[in-house]
Each structure stands twice: as C-alpha cells, then as structure tokens.
Amino acid sequence: MASTNKKIGGCYRRVLTFVLAVVAVSLIAGGIVYRRVGGSEGARYWMAGRALNGVENHLKSKNRPDGISEDQVIAVFANVREATQKRKVHLTSLYRVLKSYQTAFHTTKPSTPEIQAFLIELESTILKDTIKE
C-alpha cells in the first residue's frame, strides 16, 4: 500500500511540475505577444483590423452587389485599414459600423445604395485630420 501511495504521489508531483511549466511558458509567450501588439491600446486596434478584414472578405466574396466595383470596396477598406494601423480612426464608430453591416447583411444581400451608404459611413470613421488631399 505504501508503494502505491509513493507512486501516486510521484505522479502528482510530475504532473504538477509539467502544468506549472506549461503555465509559465504560456504567460511568457502571452506577455511577449501583448508587448509586440502594443499593449491594451494596440490590442484594440489589432482586433479592429481583424474585424475589418472579416467584413471586407464577406463583402467581396458573398455580398457585393453588381453596382459596386471590387476596386471601390478594396480602396475604401484599404484607407480605413491604413488609418487603423496609424491609430487615426474612431474605434467606437468603426465597431458600430461593422456591427451594423454584420447585423443587417449577414444572411441577405444588400442593394447598391445600401453598400454605398455603408462605405461612406465606414470612411467617416477616419479622423478628419488624417484625410489625404
């Protein structure tokens, strides 16, 4: 019986050591990624960029009406993406616009005027002092 208890106790120690090592490596890797992204502020802009990519892919692949050229969609999203990378976009407005698109057009195909209004609203999230002339 004592031999069995020793084996189980040794097993728990090895498992605990392994779990602690995995947690330590995960925390170190998470800290490095967090600093690389730019902290909490950088993480917000990174997530906004990911959301922007998702909506752009959905719009280009499934929901683009015939009246809107793909080049126009790419240009608008590129402008907003550049402003997001430079942190010159109003994040709350950007998330609101992207959420409204996802809510309204997740399953239905929008009309040309609806997408034109969406693209105008999307570009309006760029802060005014960063617009190229």
How does 112-127 read in b/e, with b if 16+ C-beta sit within 10 Å?
A: eebbeebbeebbebbe
Q: How many structural domains comprise the chain? A: 2
Instruction: Please state which of the ranges 14-23, 63-72, 114-123 shows the lowest mean pLDDT.
Output: 63-72
Q: Is the pTM of this model over 0.75?
A: no
Residue 119: pLDDT over 60: yes
Residue 131: pLDDT over 50: no
- 113 with 64, same domain: the answer is yes
Cα–Cα dist 80/50, whole Å: 12
User: Mean pLDDT of all residues in the chain?
Assistant: 85
Domain that holds residue 75: 39-130
- 24 with 50, same domain: the answer is no
Average pLDDT over residues 12-40: 88
Higher pLDDT, 77 or 37: 77
